[in-house]
A = this chain, B = another copy of it.
Amino acid sequence: MKKVVTMGEIMLRLSTPRFERFVQAESFDAVYGGGEANVAVSLANYGLDSYFVSKLPKNDIGQAAINHMRRFGVNTNYVVRGGDRVGIYYLESGASMRPSKVIYDRANSSIAEARVSDFNFDEIFKDAVWFHFSGITPALSDEAAILTEEALKAAKKHEVTVSVDLNYRKNLWTPEKAQKVMTNLMQYVDVCIGNEEDAELTLGFKPGDTNVTTGELELKGYKNIFKQMIEKFNFKYVVSSLRESYSASDNGWSACIYDGNEFYHSKKYDIRIVDRVGGGDSFASGLIYGLVSGKNFKDALEFGVAASALKHTIHGDFNMVSIDEVEKLLQGDASGRVQR
C-alpha cells in the first residue's frame, strides 16, 4: 500500500437535522471533518495507506475525532494529543433557494496552536509518495503557517509529490495575508487545486468574468488563469472543480485541468444534493488517487469528478465510496437503479 499524508485540522461538525434552521434545532448531528481529514478518509477508502497529521486535545472530544477517522481506515498514529480544544463548525442545511449556512468556531484549536516540535516530519514523510494540504492549514495561525512550511520542506526532502487545495477562508485571514503566506508556499507544490476566486484571493491572480453566483462558467477565463499560474509557479497540473449552483438542492458539477499544454474539461453531472460539504475535498482525493494509481491526468480528473458527484449524495464530510462505485458511474451508469 502506498503511503499518503495529509495535514490539517479536524473539527467537530454540528449540523441541524432535517433542514432545520439553527433557531429551531433541539439537537445537532455530530460528525468530525475538515478539508485534509476528508481527503485522508477518501484516500484510505481507495486502499492507500493514509496518514493524517494533526493535533487534538487530550479529552474525549479529541478522542472521538480520532475514532471517527480510524473507523474509516485512516492511520492516526501521527496525531499528537494536547492543546485546549477541538475546533467546531455549525452547519445549517439549506434547501431550494435557502442557502446552507456555516458558523465557524475554530479559533484556538489544538492544531492552530501546535508547534513544529510537536511533529517528527522525517518519520512522517519517510516512504510517503504524496502529501496534500489546503490553504486552510496555514491560515489557522502564524504558527500553523510555519508548521506548514516545515512539513512541505520535509516532504520535498523525501521527494514526496505535493498537492494543495487553495481554499480561501475569509474569516481566517485577509487576502493580503493569504497572498503573502501562500505565494511562498507554492514553491513546494506540484498539483494546485483551486477555483478562480481562490486563485485571486490567495495568490492574486485576476479572475476573468466568471460569475460564481449565477453559475455561469467561463472556461476560457479558467484556462487563462491556469496558464499564468503554471508560468509563475511551475505547477505540474492546475485544477479546478466547477460548481453551478442552481439552488441549494441542485447543482451542476464538473472540473477542468491544465498541464501547461492541454486544457481539459470533464463530464458534467447534475446532482440532487444530500450534503454538499466536503464536495471539493472528495474531488481532490479522487484526483490524487487517480494520479497516484497511475491514471493519465484526464482520467484522474474524471475519477475525481465522479467520486465527488457521489459525495454530494452522502451525509457528513467524508466521502464513503469505493473504487468500484466510482468506476461504475464513470462507465456511464447514473441511472440509480437498485443494486441487488
Q: Give Cα distance in the complex from A22 to B65, angstroms.
A: 10
Q: Which of B99, B104, B169, B320 contacts A21 (CB 8 A)?
A: B320
CB distance from A23 to the nearest CB of B (A): 5
In the complex, the answer to whether B61 meets A97 with C-beta atoms within 8 Å is no
Per the bound structure, the CA–CA distance linking A107 and B88 in Å amounts to 13
Tell me the complex Cα distance, A329–B329, Å.
35
Tell me the complex Cα distance, A214–B104, Å: 43
Q: Across the interface, which residues of B come within 8 angstroms of A212, CB to CB? A: 337
CB-CB contacts of A242-274 with B at 8 A, as 1s and 0s? 000111111000000000000000000101111
A187 contacts across to B, CB distance below 8 A: none
Say yes or no: A26 contacts B29, CB within 8 Å: yes
Q: Does A204 contact B (CB under 8 A)?
A: no
The chain B residue sitting closest to A109, CB to CB, is: B105
Q: Which among B19, B247, B309 is the interface contact of A334 at CB below 8 angstroms?
A: B247
Is A175 positioned at the interface, with any CB of B under 8 Å from its CB? no
Which residues of chain B are near A61, meaning CB under 8 Å? 22, 90, 103, 105
Residues of B near A247 (CB, < 8 A) are 272, 334-336
Asked if A14 is at the interface (CB within 8 A of a chain B CB), the reply is yes
Q: Give the contact-size bracket for chain A.
A: 35 or more
Contact flags A14-28 to B (C-beta < 8 A → 1, else 0): 100111111111111
Tell me if B313 and A245 are in contact (CB < 8 A). Answer: no
Q: In angstroms, how far is the closest chain B Cβ from the Cβ of A4?
A: 18
- Tell me which of B20, B215, B246, B333 contacts A315 (CB under 8 A): B20
Cβ A60 vs Cβ B314 within 8 A = no
A339 on interface, CB distance cutoff 8 Å = yes
Please indicate the chain B residues that have their CB under 8 angstroms from the CB of A271 in the complex: 96-97
- Nearest neighbor of A170 in chain B, beta-carbon distance: B340
Q: Are A316 and B96 in contact (CB under 8 A)?
A: no
Contact B245 A336 (CB under 8 A): yes
Min Cβ gap A144→B in Å is: 18
> Do B336 and A249 have beta carbons less than 8 Å apart?
yes
The answer, yes or no, to whether A213 is at the interface (CB within 8 Å) is: yes
How far is A63 from B14 in the complex, measured between Cα atoms in Å? 16
Let me know if A73 and B71 touch, CB within 8 A.
Answer: no
A320 to B21, CA, bound (A): 8
Name which residue of chain B comes closest to A336, CB basis: B248
Per-residue CB contact flags for chain A residues 268-310 toward chain B (1 = under 8 Å, else 0) read 0101111011000000000000000000000000000000011
Cβ contact within 8 Å between A98 and B314: yes
Having A22-B63, A23-B60, A100-B338, one finds 12 other A-B pairs with CB under 8 Å, namely A14-B14, A23-B64, A23-B67, A23-B72, A24-B320, A28-B28, A60-B101, A97-B269, A97-B271, A99-B335, A100-B336, A248-B337
Chain A residues close to B by CB (< 8 Å)? 14, 17-31, 59-61, 63-64, 67-68, 70-73, 84-86, 88, 90, 92, 94-105, 107-108, 169-171, 212-215, 245-250, 269, 271-274, 276-277, 309-310, 312-316, 320-321, 325, 329, 333-340
